[in-house]
Structure 1
Amino acid sequence: MFSKKNVSRRSFMGGMAKVGTVAASTSILTACNSSSSSEEKTSIAGVKVAMLADVHFHDVFGHYEFSKFNSEVTIRSMQDSCESTRMFNENYFAFIEALEELGQQGIKYICLLGDFSDDGQVDTLKGFNRVVEPYIEKYGFEFFLTNGNHDPVRPYGAHQTKNFLHHTGASIAVTSDEDRNFTPNNVLIGQHITKGMWATGYQEMFDALGQYGFQNKPSYVSYETPWGSDKFEDRGLMISKEDGGNTFWCPDATYLAEPVEGLWIVSVDMNIYLPNDDGTSWSHASIGWEEGKKYKPQVMDWLANVTARAEAEGKTLIVFSHYPATEYLNSSANDFYYVFNDGSYNNTRVPSSDTAEQVINAGVKMQFGGHIHVNDTAVHQGENGTLINIQAPSLAAYTPSYKVVTCHSPTLFEIETKTLQDVRDFDALFPYYQLEKEHREWVGADVQWETMLEATDYRDFMFRHLDVLMHMRLKNGWGGDITALFEAATPLYWLMMLSCYEGTLDNQQTLALIEAMTIEANNSDILTIFAEWGLEDKAIDALAMVDGHCSTFLMNRDQMMAVSFKQLCLATLYQRNGDELALQDLNYQLLVPIRVAMEMFKHNDADGDLENIDWDTDYINQNPASGGSVQKDQIDLLLLRTRFASFARIYHQLGKAKPADHFFVDLTTGYVEDLAGNKQF
């Protein structure tokens, strides 16, 4: 990781600075400061609201009746964290650091965009209250929560089991299920049963956290729900499965709170729980608005009523939920799925255009979401208006950040992304992980996360986590070709040669080249292999094309050889999560060669249009889901070229996406202006 420079995608990924930025920003500033506009006379002008997503709070000093194990802390293992898309323990300290920062900035209103807890366990919610209450007293914070798929995990609660570290470095299964079967092994040496591990349902969540927006308070100017009441028994609806199976009453936590005259904070519960045929359990797809538009029409109708009243009354409206309401990967979701086979980023979880249209029809112009652990800004231009969806990244994953919204008027907002870097005590638990490491080595268990303990700060810690996660979990689902290139660490220079080779290569030839195309191999070594197949002339032409292409971009062979496919994969995942924030953690010796390679990879797109995706030609087997099903004996040059084209489309979209660091939003026009490095406000 390199120095944290303030790098804008507009100036690097897009290749040039945006013309007219200063003029546009000046006009916006004039509009914000104008005293002639009635909008600017609202009492909330200048009010700031913080957006924290996916805190995944776990109380590392919780009770869980765990003291009998002579443990000073109740923490999850590093092994579990490094196999998860989020850290389990250090986010405790990150959350506290974020609260301190917000207090120092004078920010009073804090929205938590779901998954504020580990899994809504009884002792976790107690710990949450214990942590935030002193900050409420110290800084006068007002919290507004929405629930995610981790809180609650089921509408009426559920048993939970987690592995906690034992003081020996081994692990203990901590569960709320007295009937759970358990068999110990060398790493997981025992089981502990406690009611504190029970994952609460809606009613228990309201009882424990009702003061954070879920229920009315005397201090609110106004408060309402779609159900005409804030009582648990009134807030919900009947939900049935499509097949006509069981129908159940399911709670809903949607609300509108007005903490100060003129500011309406709207928390939308888009969790959909469908009853299973057994009549006692529930399924939860965790896709939010995509199902919510169908199963919660009452909420959508109420939302339309709220937005209409807000506009008529001149209220400043802040709408948030746990889930995105638009496509959140710059129209690259299918390509990410095709290359990396990650179900978290596929077309089943990405909201459809119809969903965005229905949210627009409900009058929503700007929506904040979490759930995906990515930093992103997306604008959907619909038939009836524009929807701006702003994704706040997780505090428990790379890049650990939160958003600060400054309300300049009911239609003018400034959004800043604050990344946590220097978090006090982020390494306080490292001695326990060292014991875990020693125990795993003693019993012969795998350890791949030693570099995590070398982190210099919290941002670096999360930077390392994504790297380790890729090696320990993510790559296990990749297709045979991506895996082969990753394990061989094939340099970009050779990948570019394959991308422009004007011929066909069968499975055995392709595998032989992947094995031979190492960083140590010279051009003669590779040409000799082609000569044995009678294909030397086309190989010479391909090398000439690569060298000419590099020369055009003032690059040379050594620079392209210095970046491997493994580095390309990791850099792409960093940018998927952090968007332009990731550019502050990636050096130019890596980014520039990647951009040069992408310029050559784009010629592998079937129709030459990087904006267009044609499943019949752009994807082998005509479906991005086939990416992970490709076996090693199916690898050939045609398949590799479809992968190269996907990478090119991903980087093409990164280069033209909306700003996601510091930007300005005008809801009257749907205009999003990049303010990175601009300190005018």
Structure 2
Amino acid sequence: MSNLNKKLSRRSFLQKGATVASVTAMSPVITACSSGDSDDPVKSYADMKVAILADVHFHDIFGDFDFSSYNDEVTIRTLHDSVRSTRMFNENYFAFIATLEQLGEQGIKYICMVGDYSDEGQIDTLKGFNRVVKPYIEKYNFEFFLCNGNHDPNEPFGSDETKTFLTPFGDGIQVTSDSNKSFTASDLIVAQHQTAGMKGAGYAEMFDLLGEHGFKNKSSYLHYETPWGSDEFAERGLIMRNGEHSGWCPDASYLVEPMDGLWLCSVDMNIHLPKDSVGEAWDHDAKGWEDGKTHKPKVFEWLADVAQRAEEQGKVLIVFSHYPAIEYLNDSANDFYFLFDDSSYNNKRVPSDDTAHQLINAGVKLQFAGHIHVNDTAIRSNENGSLINIQTPSLAAYTPSYKLVTCHDTETFEITTHTVKDVPDFDHLFPYYQKEIDYRATVNQAEPLLEEMLEATDYRDFMFRHLKVLTEIKLKGGWAADMKDLYDAKTPLYWVMALSALDKETTTLSSDDYTTLLAAMTAEATDSEVIAAFDSLSSVQAGDLDNALSLVNSHLETYKMNRQRMMNIGFHSLCLATLYLRNGDELAVDDLEYELIVPINVVIKLFELNDADGNLSNVNWAQDYGDAEIGPAVVENQKSYAADWDLSIIHKRFAAFARIYYRFNNNLPADHFFVDLKTATITDQVGRVSLG
């Protein structure tokens, strides 16, 4: 962790003097409105504090699953499976409990869970959720308000689920609700267990099991409504159409007033489309609002009515959905896609500006979301107003955090982001994982990186390690050849800068040439040694690398950076730092050492020279990449476009890095900030310190 004593804002840390684009300055201190005013519509704004939890992915590690004959201690997923997922499967149990304790100690009463509150909506998982939250409801008087995510439910009328659980011996057992699931034993998965508890709940079961957490009206609510004019399950839904197929699908949207003046609006933007005419098979693309504007227009109409009434009646309105309504990566989704080929994680799920404008036109001003496991703040505006979308990170991934909303009046909110670090028992399952690691070694299936997970010192560190191991084991496997080769070679940033400074008009390099160069570009190599290797290539002009290194060394002198420091950091560190920043935004700065971030910033400044139009704020794919055919909708073309080495493509990748960091340095705060909906302004509240 960073040794800096004072917390830094991301902009001061990464770029001295950077300013936040599209944000008007506000007073740095805002006090709560007095609760004694006679015309105040609520008893006290001071009581209006709402916690936002996203993507908890709760799994009941002490649940039953009718599993006791195999393991009478815990019912946990394998570490092997966890490090291949964008979330950890087991430790979120402890993180969820630690978060509830933190919220209780802070006197928070209202907790909004913005989707994916369960693993896969399994019946026994939902029962376990109730078992865990019950004592905290009794102890702290919590009220939970749930919103459906794409994992809860997977299908509107239930689904069979199959997972691999860890046995006490270190091998695995397949646990399924599907009585027709075929199975063949192996060294790693030795048996199959069938149980109804693994069945994924549909809406009906979910309403029955979790109804008290917002899905059903309660006598304590001052107001409750749905878009469908009824609280009855059978009337809460709509006909979904998909070509020649159509079928009725439930909807879990609702508006609740738990205390005088506070409206919490949970919007179900799961879009399930029928694949047959009998309601047995459904498509679910998890795009949320982007598909919702087409398939759930009535919900948009209802939102417009809710927003209008909230304003007329002086209500504080907080809208939350599982899905983001605005692009959530500082307008860098295209660049992340081009670098890391994560189209399903980023581009495929990016809302268009049209979607944001439709919500603005409906009067929605503030929306909280999850789904993407990132920390971000975004804003869009048109002639009818502005929409602010606040992304809450997952508790089950890096950076594990939640948002706390303090309402100062109907249009002024203070947002604080709390990272969950000190989690009691976060390492409780490590002995089981060690048995798994040891067992895998005995059957020649050893995975050394799993050991690295067990070296974690706290829960935040555990999630930090998870993202690194996930990248090493799975994510980089989908990258284009140039990215993967540079990453695996851990090519020092000094030589990466040299590649970025080569003249692509006069330098042509084959894949074999790059293999030769990467072998020569070690941390110990001298300039003359690498120049000799370069000049030996048949396809280059002598002197090209000399010129590039001259530019690099001049650049380093300008930024007072020595050559050896750039040799000590590899390209893999740049990639990992960028992925950490993608997930954590400014929260990630606490985990990235000064000795890493400063050299990376120097590299990025040189990469800026590779930007095609010299405008780092440009977000036009065709202009940035010079080829509209490789756009975000054409996933396979991206892979073939850079299946091999090409200097012009590598320079485009370096430009993509430059744009990502430029936008990161110049975008909205995502840690502690104030939101003024009346003026659509956001004010950063993290102190800024110059690095000199």
TM-score, structure 1 normalization: 0.96
What displacement does 1:578 show?
0.3
Partner of residue 421, structure 1? 421
Map 1:318-357 → 2, pairs under 5 A: 318-357=318-357
Alignment match, 2:520: 516
SS at match of 1:408: strand
Q: Is 2:269 the partner of 1:274?
A: no
Return closer, same or farther for 1:39/1:72 CA change in 2, 3 Å cut-off.
farther
In the TM superposition, residue 626 of structure 1 has moved relative to its aligned partner by 5.7
Contact 2:497 2:552 in 1 (8 A): yes
Name the SS for the 1:92 alignment partner.
helix
Q: 1:541 to 1:669 in 2, by over 3 A?
A: same
Against the structure 1 CA distance between its residues 499 and 70, is the aligned structure 2 distance closer, same or farther, given a 3 Å change threshold? closer
- Decide which of 499, 509, 524 is 1:506's aligned counterpart: 509
1:555 aligned onto 2:561? yes
Residue 119 of structure 1 aligns to which amino acid in structure 2?
E
Q: Distance in 1 between matches of 2:464 and 2:224?
A: 41
Shift of 1:495: 1.1
Partner residue of 1:10?
11
Measured after TM superposition, the shift of residue 529 of structure 1 is: 2.0
* Equivalence map 1:654-665=2 (5 Å): 654-665=664-675
Alpha-carbon distance in structure 2 between the residues aligned to 1:86 and 1:65:
25
In structure 2, relative to structure 1, the CA distance for the partners of 1:467 and 1:552 (3 Å cut) is: same
Structure 1 residues 332 and 26 mapped into 2: Cα distance closer, same or farther (>3 Å)?
closer
Please list the CA deviations of residues 70-91 of structure 1 after superposition, one character each: whole Å capped at 9, or x if unmatched.
4310000000100000000000
**Code of the aligned partner of 2:507:** T
1:647 equivalent to 2:664? Answer no
Contact 2:239-2:247 within 8 A present in 1 as well: yes
Give how far 1:29 is off: 1.9
User: Please, which of 542, 551, 562 is the counterpart of residue 545 of structure 1?
Assistant: 551
Specify which of 525, 529, 543 is matched with residue 525 of structure 1: 529
Structure 1 residue 258, shift from structure 2 partner? 0.2
**1:510, 1:637 within 8 Å by CA — same for their partners in 2?**
no
Instruction: Say if 1:327 and 1:350, in contact at 8 Å, map to a contact too.
Output: yes
* 1:311-359, Cα deviation, whole Å (9 max, x unpaired): 0100000100000000000000010011000134433210000000011
Q: What corresponds to 2:681 in structure 1?
A: 671
Q: Offset of 1:656 from its aligned partner? A: 0.7
Give the distance between the partners of 1:675 and 1:126, measured in 2 at CA.
40
1:211 aligns to what? 212
SS at match of 1:348: helix
Whether 1:591 and 2:597 are equivalent positions in the alignment is yes
Distance change >3 Å, CA 617–CA 406, structure 1 → 2: closer
**Correspondence for 1:83:** 84
2:669–2:684 contact (8 Å) kept in structure 1? yes
Quick one: structure 1 residues 663 and 38, their matched pair in 2 at CA, closer, same or farther if it must change by over 3 Å?
farther
Change (3 A) 1:128 1:27: closer
Distance 1:552 1:37 in 2: 59
Q: Which amino acid aligns with 1:497?
A: A
Contact 2:35 / 2:42 at 8 angstroms: preserved in 1?
A: no
| 1:98-113 pair list within 5 angstroms | 98-113=99-114
CA RMSD of aligned residues (A): 2.0
Say whether 1:49 aligns with 2:50.
yes
**Alpha-carbon distance in 2 for matches of 1:530, 1:80:** 43
- 1:612 equivalent in alignment to 2:618: yes
Q: What secondary structure, in the 3-state scheme, does the structure 2 residue paired with 1:563 have?
A: coil
Instruction: Give the aligned partner of residue 541 of structure 2.
Output: 535
Deviation (angstroms), 1:3 = 4.2
1: CA distance, partners of 2:533 / 2:434: 48
Does the C-alpha gap of structure 1 residues 278 and 168 become closer, same or farther in structure 2, counting only changes over 3 Å? Answer: farther
> How far 1:24 sits from its partner (Å)?
5.3
Distance 2:677 2:372 in 1: 24
User: Hey, what's the Cα distance between the residues in 1 that align with 2:267 and 2:12?
Assistant: 36
Partner residue in 2 for 1:257: 256
**Residues 167-178 of structure 1 correspond to what in structure 2 (within 5 A)?**
167-178=168-179
**Deviation digits for residues 418-473 of structure 1, max 9, x if unmatched?**
00111000000101001101111111113121111011100000000000000111
Aligned-partner Cα distance in 2 for 1:593–1:650: 16
Question: What amino acid is the match of 2:651?
Answer: R
Shift of 1:361: 1.0
* Residue 369 (structure 1) aligned with residue 369 (structure 2): yes
Partner of 1:582: 588
Residue identity opposite 2:607 in structure 1: F
1:513 to partner: Cα distance: 1.6
SS of 2:14 mapped into structure 1: coil
8 A Cα contact 2:14 2:665, kept in partner:
yes
Secondary structure of the equivalent of 1:504?
Answer: coil
CA apart distance, 1:278? 6.6
- 1:127 corresponds in structure 2 to 128
Aligned residues of 1:411 and 1:667 also touching (Cα < 8 A) = yes
Q: Does 1:411 align with 2:429?
A: no
1:161, CA displacement in angstroms?
A: 0.4
Query: How many Å separate the matches in 1 of 2:533 and 2:229?
Result: 75
> Secondary structure at 2:49's aligned position in 1?
strand
Spell out, residue by residue over 1:373-403, the C-alpha distance to the aligned partner (whole angstroms, 9 max, x if none): 0000011122321110000000000000000
Deviates more, 1:315-324 or 1:613-622: 613-622
Aligned-pair distance for 1:153? 0.5
1:96-245 matches, cutoff 5 A: 96-241=97-242, 243=243, 245=244
How many angstroms apart in 2 are the aligned matches of 1:515 and 1:156? 56
1:292-307 matched pairs, under 5 angstroms: 292-307=292-307
Q: Which residue of 2 aligns with 1:92?
A: 93
Secondary structure of the structure 1 residue equivalent to 2:298: helix
The AA in structure 1 aligned to 2:531 is L
The more displaced of 39-48 and 159-168 is: 39-48
Match of 1:311 in 2: 311
Aligned to 2:491: 490
Amino acid across the alignment from 1:132 = V
Taking the aligned partners of 1:278 and 1:160, their CA distance within structure 2 comes to 23
* 3-state SS, counterpart of residue 270 of structure 1: coil
Letter in 2 for 1:253: A
Tell me the distance in 1 between the aligned counterparts of 2:38 and 2:673: 23
1:522-559 alpha-carbon deviations (Å, 9 max, x no partner): 10111112333463322212111101111111111111
Q: What is the letter of the counterpart of residue 255 of structure 1?
A: Y
Please give the alpha-carbon distance, in whole angstroms, between the structure 2 residues aligned to 1:547 and 1:189.
Answer: 58
Deviation, structure 1 residue 163 = 0.6
Distance, in Å, in 2 between the alignment partners of 1:271 and 1:345 is 17
User: Secondary structure of 1:608's partner?
Assistant: coil
Query: How much has 1:34 moved relative to structure 2?
Result: 6.9
With 378-387 and 96-105 compared, the bigger mean Cα shift is at: 378-387
CA contact (8 A) 1:216 1:230 kept: yes
Unaligned runs of 5+ residues in structure 2 are none
CA distance in 1 between counterparts of 2:519 and 2:28 reads 57
Report the CA distance between 1:110 and its aligned residue.
0.2
C-alpha separation in 2, matches of 1:3 and 1:188: 44
Q: Give the 3 Å change call, closer, same or farther, for CA 177–297 of structure 1 in structure 2.
A: same
Structure 1 unpaired stretches of 5+: none
- CA distance in 1 between counterparts of 2:38 and 2:513 reads 71
What SS is found at the alignment partner of 2:173? Answer: strand
Kindly state the Cα deviation for residue 615 of structure 1 after the two structures are TM-superposed.
3.5
